[in-house]
Structure 1
Amino acid sequence: MSENNEYSFYAAVVKSFKKAAEFTKWDKGLLEQISACNAVYRMRFPVKKEDGSIEVIEAYRVQHSHHKTPCKGGIRFSMAVNQDEVMALAALMTYKCAIVNVPFGGGKGGIKIDPKKYTPYELEKITRRYTSELIKKNFIGPAVDVPAPDYGTGEREMAWIVDTYAAMHTHDIDAAGCVTGKPVSQGGVRGRKEATGLGVFYGLKEVLSMEEEMSKRGLTPGVAGKRIVIQGLGNVGYHSAKFFRDAGAVIVGVAEYEGSISKPDGIHVDELLEFRKRTGSILNFPSAVNLENNKAALELDCDVLIPAALENVIDGENAPRIKAKIVGEAANGPLTPEADEILLQKGVLVVPDMYLNAGGVTVSYFEWLKNLSHVRYGRMEKRFNENMNARILQEIEDLTGKKVNESSKTFINHGADEVELVYSGLEETMITATREIMAEWKANDHIPDMRTAAYVVAINKVATTYAELGIFP
C-alpha cells in the first residue's frame, strides 16, 4: 500500500488508535469500524498538456468515516501523494473533526503531481478533470463530501472545483457548499486563509497558560517571551509564527527546504518572507546565522518547536537531539511513533496534530454553514449591536455626567464583523478542545501522553454517535 516500505503513515495512525482504544470501553468490532477507511477511490485520467503531449494523472479521494456526513478533508498536490498517505490523513480528519466538535466524517484527497511543473492552464485542466471524476462517483457535494485546500493547493484551485461542480449541478442552490477554502467572492469566508496557523496559536496559547504543565517543564505560564522555532514558512508556518510574534514570543529559528537559520534575539517573519521572495532563500538573512542543513533548526534550544511542513521530519534518528520543551504539531504527522516514544521519555510535551491543526477544518465548517445559510456572518446583527452599544454608552454618559474619549467610544460601539466572529468561534473551539483533552489525560493516570488522550476523546465521540444511532454500518 505504501510506496515506502520502511514507514507507513496509515499504520502509524492505526497504531496510535489501538494504543488509545485500550483506554476506552467500546466493543472491539465497533472500534475496528471506527478505525477502518470506509471508501478509497483511486483514479487515473489523461490530461493533454500545452505542448500537445498527453500525461496520465494519478489521484485519490478517501472517505474514512460516514458516522457523520458530509465527509471533510483537503486536497493536496504533491509527488509524495500515495494511497497510504491519503488514508492516514483521512483517518486523522475523522478524529480531528470529532475532537473539535465539527459534525463531519473524515476525508482526504490528493493528486500526484508537482504543481510547479505545470502551467496555470494545465493545473486548471487537471483540477477540473479531477472534480468531474469525483462527481461521477458521488465523491463530492455539500451533503456528501466537501474538499478544501491542503499542501500545494489554495483558493484558486477551490474556485475551479466549485465552478465545475456548479456547472454540473445547476439546480443545486447549495452548490457553493461543495468545497471550502474558496475566494470570498466565490462564497468563501473571511479568516479562512490564516485559520490553521491561528488555530495552532490558540491551541498552544491555551497549553502555555496551564501552570501545572509549564512548571513540569521549567517554564512560566503565558506566551510572552517564549522562544519559538518554526519549521516551514508556508501558509500554516507563517501565520503561526506571525501570531506568536504579535503576542510577544520570540522566533529564534526558522527552517525551510533550502536550509535553516537562527537568530536568538528574534526573527521578524514578515521581513524574512519578503527577503525570501526577493532572494529565493531564507539563508543569509541579515543578522541571522545559517545552520548546517534544513533540519538543524529543529535541534535549536527553544521552548516551543512548531513543525509546520510535511510528515516524518522528527524520527528516531534526530528525536534524541530535540531540545524543545514543547512540540506543537502544526503539520500532519511530523513525528514518527519512534520519535513520540523518545520525546515522551525526555519529558517533552507533544501537542498532537490531530487537534492542533484543526483551525482549517473549523473555519471550513463556518464557511460551509455560511454557504448553506446564504448570508454573511455579522450581516444580520452588526448594526443592531452598534446602535445598542451606542445607546447604552449614551445612557451611562447622561447618568454620570462624564464623557468617554473618542477612541474608547469607537471601541465600545463597534459591532463584530465576519472575520472577528470567525476568529472568536475558532478561539472558543481550540480552547474547549484543549481543555477536554487535558481533562481526559488527568482523569486517567495510565494514559501516557497528550496524543493518546486526544485519540481517546475522538474515539469516545465517534463511538457515542454510533451507539446513539443504534446502528453499526
Structure 2
Amino acid sequence: MAKSKKEKQTQHKKPPLRGMMDNVMEQFNNAADRIQLHPHIRKILSITNNEILVNFPVKMDNGDVEVFTGYRVQHNAALGPYKGGLRYHPTVDLDAARALAMWMTWKCSLAGLPYGGGKGGIKIDPSKFSETELERITRRFTYALADNIGPEHDIPAPDVNTNSQTMAWIADTYMSTRPPAQRTANQHIVTGKPEGSGGLEGRDRATGYGVYLTIIFWADKNDINLKGKKFIVQGFGNVGYWASHFLEKDGAKLVGVQDAFGSIQNEKGINVENLFQYTKTNKGSIVDFPNSQTVDHDDFFALDCDICIPAALGNQITKENAPHIKAKLIAEGANGPTNVDGEKILIDRGITIIPDILCNSGGVIASYFEWLQNRSGEIWHYDEVMEKLEKKLKGNFNKVFVYAVREGVDMRTAAFCIAIERVEKAYVQRGIFP
C-alpha cells in the first residue's frame, strides 16, 4: 500500500537512527579483522568509557516547568580529551550518542589530533521553544554536565541544531561556575564559539569547506574537472550550504536539495546564495523556492547527478534507495549517513564513498585550531586557518587514498584501519593500568 504524502513527510522529519550503533560496530569489526587488532584492545574499543544521562528542570516563558533529558557519551580517551558535538534533536538517545561518539574517536584519530571521541545532546525539538527558553535549557544542561566536561577532559562543539550562540552560552555558564581565578583559563571548554568570544575565524564554514576539499582531492586523483558537474545536497544547514557554496564557485552545479521540510530540483541549476537567502525568510525551509520543482522525498537520491552530499542525519542511504543512486561519488557531510547495507550496494555498483570520518573532519580540525588558539592566547586569521585546514586535510586524504589502493579496499575500510591502528599503538606503548 502506497504511503500518503503526510506519512512521507513525517518519516522524513524524523530519520531513523536505530541502526547506527550496529553500523559503526560492523565498520569497526571489519577493519579490526583486517588489521588483526589485538583481542584485548578490541574489547576496550568496542565499548564506551562513560555514559552520562541527566534529567533537569527548566522554567518556560509562561512560568511552567519542563523536565528535559540530556546525554553525553565518552567513548575513548587514549589519544587525549574527549571531543565531539552536542545536538538538539528528537532522535537524540544513548544508542545514537554511543555510535556518534565512537565515530568521533576514529575521526580524531584519522585526523592525527590529540583527542578521543565524545558526543551527546538533548532530546528536544528546538523549533518549539523560544530563544530565551533555549538559552535557559542550554545553561541548565551545562550546569548538569559541569563535572563531566572540561577544557582538558571533554570539549563539546556545535552539531545538529546547535551553533556558535549555543557554545557561547555553554562557555559562559561553565566559566561562571568556576572559581574566579580559573574562569578565563577555561575559555576553551567548547569550540565553535563566536569570534568575539574566543572563536576561530572560518570555523563556521570549516566542515563544509572540508567536504568540498575532499571532493576536490578525489577529482584530482581521478583527473576529473568539476566544472559543469551536477551535485545534490541533503541538508541545507551549515555543512550543506558551505559545501555547495565552494563547489558552485568552482563551476559545479547544484541541481537538487532536500531538507526536513521537502525536496526541490532544477536541472538547469539552483543558485546557492539565492537559496540560502530564501531559507532565511522561509523559516529555514527550502520548500517552494522559485524556479524549482518539488521532488518526492523517496525519489531524491535518485536524481540525476555526478556527486551526492548527504549532510543531514544518519541512516539516509539504505538498501532501499542505494540501487537508484546515479551519482558516481558520495561525499558524507553527515555522520553515518550511509548504512552498511546501502554501502555494500554502492560499492558493488562501483560508486566511491568518501567516508564521514574523513569527509566532514574539517570541523573537528578547525575546532582543534580554536582550542590551541585559546590555550596559547593567540589569534589566528582567516587565511591562515584555511591554509592550515587544507594542508591537514590533503595529507589525511592522501593517506587514506594510498592505503585503499595499496590494500585493495574501499576508502572507509582504509580510513578505519588507519584510525584504529593509531589508537592501538597508544595502548601498546602505554600498556593497560594496572
Q: Secondary structure of 2:203's match? A: coil
Question: 1:85-104 residue pairs with structure 2 within 5 A?
Answer: 85-104=96-115
Question: Do the aligned residues in 2 keep the contact of 1:34 with 1:463 (CA within 8 Å)?
Answer: no
The aligned amino acid for 1:335 is T
Structure 2: 5+ residue stretches without partners: 1-13
Q: Match for residue 428 of structure 2?
A: 467
TM-score, scaled relative to structure 2? 0.93
Aligned to 1:46, what secondary structure does the other structure show?
Answer: strand
Change over 3 Å in CA distance of 1:279–1:42 after alignment to 2:
closer
State the one-letter code of the partner of 1:461.
Answer: R
Task: Report the equivalent of 2:411.
Answer: 450
Query: How many angstroms apart in 2 are the aligned matches of 1:344 and 1:329?
Result: 14
Give 1:250's match in structure 2, choosing from 234, 249, 253: 253
Deviation for aligned residue 1:358: 0.7
- What code does the residue aligned with 1:422 have? V
Q: Distance in 1 between matches of 2:140 and 2:18?
A: 31
In the alignment, what sits opposite 1:383?
A: none
- Counterpart of 1:401 in structure 2 is none
Structure 1: distance between partners of 2:262 and 2:60: 33
Any conservation in 1 of the 2:15–2:315 contact (CA below 8 Å)?
no
Report the TM-score, using the length of structure 1 for normalisation: 0.85
**Structure 1 residue identity aligned to 2:388:** G
| Residue 13 (str. 1) matches residue 24 (str. 2) | yes
Q: Deviations over 1:258-277 (max 9, x none)?
A: 22222222211111122333
CA-to-aligned-CA distance 1:106-159 (integer Å, 9 cap, x gap): 011210111111122211111111111111xx3111111100011011111111
Asked whether the equivalents of residues 79 and 109 of structure 2 are also in contact (C-alpha less than 8 Å), the reply is: no
Q: Decide which of 266, 286, 293 is 1:289's aligned counterpart.
A: 293
CA distances 1:368-418 after superposition (whole Å, capped 9, x unpaired): 0000001212xxxxxxxxxxxxxxxxxxxxxxxxxxxxxxxxxxxxxxxx1
Partner of 1:382: none
In the TM superposition, residue 222 of structure 1 has moved relative to its aligned partner by: 3.1
1:48 aligns with 2:59: yes
Q: Deviations 1:254-301 (Å, cap 9, x if unpaired)?
A: 11222222222221111112233334543443332222x234232111
Following TM superposition, by how much is the alpha carbon of 1:4 offset from its aligned partner in structure 2, in angstroms? 11
- List, as ranges, runs of 4+ consecutive aligned residues in structure 1 with deviation greater than 6 Å: 3-6
Look up the equivalent residue of 1:463 and give its one-letter code: E
Aligned to 1:241: 244
1:127 counterpart = 2:138: yes
Q: Which has the larger radius of gyration?
A: 1
Alignment equivalent of 1:433, drawn from 396, 401, 405: 396
Alignment check: 8 A CA contact 1:65 1:106 kept: yes
28, 33, 36: which is aligned to 2:44? 33
| Matched AA of 1:437 | V
Residue 6 of structure 1 and its aligned partner are, at CA, apart by 9.2
**Rounded Cα–Cα distance in structure 2 between residues aligned with 1:454 and 1:68:** 17
Match of 1:167 among 157, 170, 176: 176
Q: Deviations over 1:168-216 (max 9, x none)?
A: 22222421010011111111111011111001011111011112xxxxx
User: Any idea what SS the aligned residue of 1:208 has?
Assistant: helix
Matched, 1:142 2:142: no
CA distance in 1, matches of 2:172, 2:18: 38
**Where in structure 1 are there 5+ consecutive unaligned residues?**
212-219, 378-417
Q: Take 2:418 and 2:433, find their aligned partners in 1: how far apart are those partners? A: 19
Deviation at 1:31, TM superposition (A): 1.8
Task: Count residues in correspondence.
Answer: 418
Shift of 1:34: 2.1
- Within a 5 Å distance, the mapping from 1:151-300 to structure 2 comes to 151-169=160-178, 170-172=180-182, 173-211=184-222, 220-280=223-283, 281-291=285-295, 293-300=296-303
Matched with 1:376 is 379
Structure 2 partner of 1:340: 343
Partner amino acid, structure 2, of 1:421: E
What displacement does 1:24 show?
0.7
- Residue type at the aligned position of 1:112: K
Q: CA deviation at 1:26?
A: 2.7
Q: Quick one: percent identity of the two aligned structures?
A: 40
CA distance 1:161–1:251, shift in 2 (3 Å)? same
CA distance in 1, matches of 2:91, 2:234: 18
Whole-Å separation in 2 of the counterparts to 1:299 and 1:192: 32
Task: Give the superposition deviation at 1:318.
Answer: 1.1
Amino acid at match of 1:164: T
**1 CA distance for matches of 2:135 and 2:275?**
31
The alignment status of 1:84 with 2:95, answered yes or no, reads yes
